[in-house]
Amino acid sequence: MVQQIILRNLEKPQIKSLEEDLLWFCDSFGFSSGRDTENTANKIIFSLLEKLSNDELSSTEYLAEDLDMKIPRINHHLRNLNDSGLLYRKKRLIYLRGGSLKAAVKEMRKDSERILDELENIAEEIDSMMGLKNR
C-alpha cells in the first residue's frame, strides 16, 4: 500500500471555533491543497464527521447526495484521504480510522514513524556502502 502523509506547520486559528479548527486540521494535512480549489476534501471530511457524530454510517453515495457532487469526484477525494491514512472503506461504507480524529492522527503518527524507521535503516545501509560515517 502506498501511503502519502503530508504535514504542514501552520499557525493555529486565533479564535477557537469548530469550523476554523477543522479547516486548520485539514490544511495542516494538506487535504485541500493542489487542484482542490473548491475544498472538496474538506467538505467530505466535514460531512463524514457530522454523520459519525450522530452515530450514522456513511457511504460514497450519501456523500455525493449530501454534497451535491458526482460519485467519481467523491471517490477521487476519498482515495486520497484513504491513502493519507485518515479513513478507510469497508463494504461500501466509509469509516474514520480509529473512530475519531484523535485516534486517526495517532494511527497516522505510527504510520509515519514506521516509514521513517525504514528510511533510516536503508539510509544507514547506503551510508555504510558508500563509506560515509555518522557523527
**pTM for the structure as a whole:** 0.82
What H or E segment, with its residue span, contains residue 90?
A: strand 87-90
Task: List the chain domain ranges.
Answer: 18-130
Give the separation between CA 58 and CA 30, rounded to whole angstroms: 23
Give the separation between CA 112 and CA 70, rounded to whole angstroms: 32
CB atoms within 10 A of CB 52: 18
| pLDDT at res. 87 | 93
| pLDDT at res. 34 | 67
| pLDDT at res. 53 | 86
| pLDDT at res. 1 | 65
All three cell numbers of 124: 544507514
| pLDDT at res. 13 | 94
Q: What is the DSSP letter of 96?
A: E
Given a cut of 50, the residues of the chain with pLDDT beneath it are none
Q: Which residues pair with 89 in a beta bridge?
A: 94
Q: Using DSSP, state whether 85 is helix, strand or coil.
A: coil
Residue carrying C-alpha cell 457530522: 50
What H or E segment, with its residue span, contains residue 44?
A: helix 40-53
CATH architecture of 18-130: Orthogonal Bundle (1.10)
Give the separation between CA 131 and CA 129, rounded to whole angstroms: 6
| pLDDT at res. 74 | 93
